């Protein structure tokens, strides 16, 4: 299965993402987006599956963010 996952992080500074995953995430799952970790709060299928291809949306909350870089 291929899952095209749209990720939104409300009230955060992260822009979210669109990623491919091998499975549909579940509420409570943790996902890594680069150097950020998020927790899945809500999952919705956006369109009916087309064969093994799924279009899914996940609302997440930020768990960890990268440390700010010091300016020199």
Per the domain annotation, does 70 fall within a domain? Answer: no
* Residue 45: both structure tokens together: 């299928």
Confidence class for position 72, pLDDT limits 50, 70, 90:
low
Per the domain annotation, does 71 fall within a domain? Answer: no
Q: Please count the structural domains in the chain.
A: 1
Count the Cβ atoms, other than its own, within 10 Å of residue 44: 10
How far is Cα of residue 7 from the mean position of the Cα atoms in its chain?
4
Q: What is the pLDDT of residue 66?
A: 65
Per the domain annotation, does 15 fall within a domain? Answer: yes
pLDDT tens digits, one per residue of 26-52: 999 999 988 889 999 999 999 999 999
* Average pLDDT rounded to a whole number, residues 53-61: 96
Q: Domain of 6?
A: 2-64
Per the domain annotation, does 72 fall within a domain? Answer: no
Tell me the CA distances in angstroms from 61 to 8, 33, 52, 65, one per residue in order.
8, 12, 28, 11
Mean pLDDT of the chain: 89
Per the domain annotation, does 29 fall within a domain? Answer: yes
Per the domain annotation, does 52 fall within a domain? Answer: yes
How far is Cα of residue 31 from the mean position of the Cα atoms in its chain?
6
Per the domain annotation, does 53 fall within a domain? Answer: yes
């Amino acid at each position: 299965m291929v899952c095209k996952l749209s990720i939104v992080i409300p009230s955060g500074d992260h822009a979210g993402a669109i990623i491919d995953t091998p499975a549909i995430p579940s509420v409570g799952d943790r996902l890594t987006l680069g150097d950020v970790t998020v927790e899945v709060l809500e999952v919705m299928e956006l369109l009916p599956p087309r064969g093994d291809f799924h279009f899914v949306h996940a609302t997440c909350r930020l768990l960890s963010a990268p440390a700010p870089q010091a300016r020199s």
